[in-house]
Amino acid sequence: MDGAARRIDLPVDTLDHATAAAEAARLSAEIERANRAYYQEDAPEISDADYDALLARLAAIEARFPDLATAASPTRRVGAAAAAGFREVVHARPMLSLDNAMSDGEVREFAARVRRFLSLADDAALPLTSEAKIDGLSLSLRYEGGALVSAATRGDGSRGEDVTANARTIADIPHRLPAGAPAVLEVRGEVYLGWEDFTALNAAQEAQGQKRFVNPRNAAAGSLRQLDPAVTANRPLRFLAHGWGEVSAPLADTQYGFMMALKALGFPVSDTLVQVEGEEQAIAHWAALLARRPSLGFDIDGVVHKVDRLDWQERLGFVARSPRWAIAHKFPPEQALTRLVAIDIQVGRTGALTPVARLAPISVGGVVVTNATLHNEDEIARKDLRVGDLVLVQRAGDVIPQVLCHRTPEAEHAALPTFAFPDHCPECGSLATREPGEAVRRCTGGLTCPAQRLERLKHFVSRRAVDIEGLGGERLAAFIALGWLERPGDLYRLPERETEIAALDGWGRQSAAKLAIAIAARREVPLDRLLFALGIRHVGEVTARDLARAVGDWPALAALLDALVAHDPAPAEGETPERHAKRVGAELAAMVGVAGIGPEVATALRDFWAEPHNRETVADLLGFVTPLPARIETRESPVAGKTLVFTGTLETMSRDEAKAAAERLGARVAGSVSAKTDLVIAGRDAGSKLRKATELGLEVIDETAWRAILAAV
């Protein structure tokens, strides 16, 4: 989990209702974000252990405060909704998740709960099945009349994605079942990639200049969820059955018997599946599979134990998002000791400085690990990591490498120099600042920093900024690669290369000439749009517009920025760095003197202009661009001086046109609803903003009423 998100969680039994409600909302949001990353984007952001901890804490809060347990809670749902591009399939029976056991003791507790529910004696026999838990993508195969009619991913547990055409390309999946199969049969299992196939696939990706997959699970999920089945057909996907959904006629009266019947019908079943007598044998099988794990040839992250008798499964039933009759006995993350060779600082596209541990190569869980994220400077300090340390490394959730701690003998560790986190960007040399309350340090040289160049230039030319047509991300990236673009002023030098551009692949004389015309048309830019285009942190469209209107023209804005940089008071006696930063931020905001611009924005303006690289870049840009004074003619109107919010889809005008019309009437258009909002204009399919406006008792009108206001003035 990112260090910026790390927090101290108060014990659930100490929370009052208001605090618990806020905590439940935070946990729900984090879990939903993790679900989208895992199920829809095939790019998990947090480890399985961190995810399980979030879910367990939310469940504990809901158990203490039952009124907080809504039907929409992540504790009652599985996964995420189907992604765009796939037809939805409604599962005849929900595809639920499993509760986790993180220790032998929790497996014993599971067995005790089953016995209590079934009114069995504490020492009564409890037949179970036990098999490896494949780390892949869940798939449900539906057969009618012996023919495969659909294949769907888990999705949110109730509705999944229709991937039938792709599933037909997997050799392990039968297209037709032999005689005697039930009229309706849903077989459920995991799509996965073996280690050798994963390595070969990544080698092929690299040879074709394409992005490598992070791990076999992501590769399998991404391969199955292709919009073009031909791509899936070229990926060596495998399938293992582990259960079933709807079935018109029973195939057996035990879990093991049913799985053997599926095997007889042609479905692959794991050779790790065994029948065991009670929890102690199940735990022993878990230990045996943990020992076998490095030699299996594919990823597993635990062992699934299930009550073997199907009549008992029926009696036990389900709770919320999981069955009472099964549990996933998770493996501990694999760990290994290696040497911390170096700590490198990577600069992200938004300027965030992220430390990365460079490690002496070590095999962890069958994967050779050579680097791991260290999140931020606080994380390094907290763990007291130093270059040269012997460190303990694990693959969190068997996916994300992380450094847990150092294991260097104390005398040797003390002799190593502490790591000094840089206060300047390693890519461009600009000052790297850290805002109060944030764990991340960011480069302030966004306009010229090589690591941020593409994203900053894409923003600069975008429709709401300077709006230069014909310069999408691919074209900008190509010009950067040719060395033609380093800063915004270079965009205006491109017409000098018109002949060279015309000769590039995908271009021509006419398209190169159009680009030159589009660039020439943007030599005069309204001050607010130019300010927004500079990409100053926290300065969005509305803030840029308010500031530009307040100062009027560029000379006045430059004078204000100079004054902000010059304001550098020394800390008062006994004043902490945090209190000093807070005081100076308030003073800077007072100097700006514009409603809605507080310490955060004022400090960001100061930091931007304090960086010489940025001043040089702006000076270069002003050699080509003339900022137009930000004086918008307004008329008296019922909305003059009011704050408006548009939400939903407007039928008769674009959102940009509606905003422009509102500003001409003297209104301020905000992007979010708050108690300071005066009027909300709700179009078709208005959602959360409309709900919030209603809760706050704000005035809300529809598009027809908005058109009437425009017509009246």
Give the residue numbers marked as catalytic: 133
Neighbours of 219 (CB within 10 A): 24
Beta bridge partners of 302: 330
Separation between Cα atoms, residue 246 and residue 152, nearest integer Å: 14
Residues near 678 by Cβ (< 8 Å), separated by ≥ 6?
639, 642, 643, 644, 698, 699
**Burial call 462-495: b when 16+ CB within 10 Å, e when fewer:** eeebbbbeebeeebbebbbeeebbebbbbbbebb
Structure tokens at 113: 């709960």
Task: Find the length of the chain.
Answer: 713
Residues near 166 by Cβ (< 8 Å), separated by ≥ 6?
151, 224, 225, 226, 229, 232
Structure tokens at 186: 């849903």
- End-to-end alpha carbon distance in the chain: 54
Comparing CA positions, the residue from 264, 257, 266 lying closest to residue 306 is 257
Give the C-alpha distances (Å, rounded to integers) separating 90 from 150, 224, 299: 11, 18, 29
CB contact at 8 A, 357 and 391: yes
CA angle (561, 562, 566) in 5-degree steps: 120
Q: Cite the DSSP H helix spans in 491-535.
A: 498-502, 509-520, 527-533
Biggest CA–CA distance in the chain, Å, is 88
Neighbours of 521 (CB within 10 A): 11
CB contact at 8 A, 148 and 142: yes
3-state secondary structure of 646: strand
Separation between Cα atoms, residue 170 and residue 486, nearest integer Å: 47
Beta bridge partners of 403: 393
Separation between Cα atoms, residue 302 and residue 242, nearest integer Å: 14
Structure tokens at 600: 């955060």
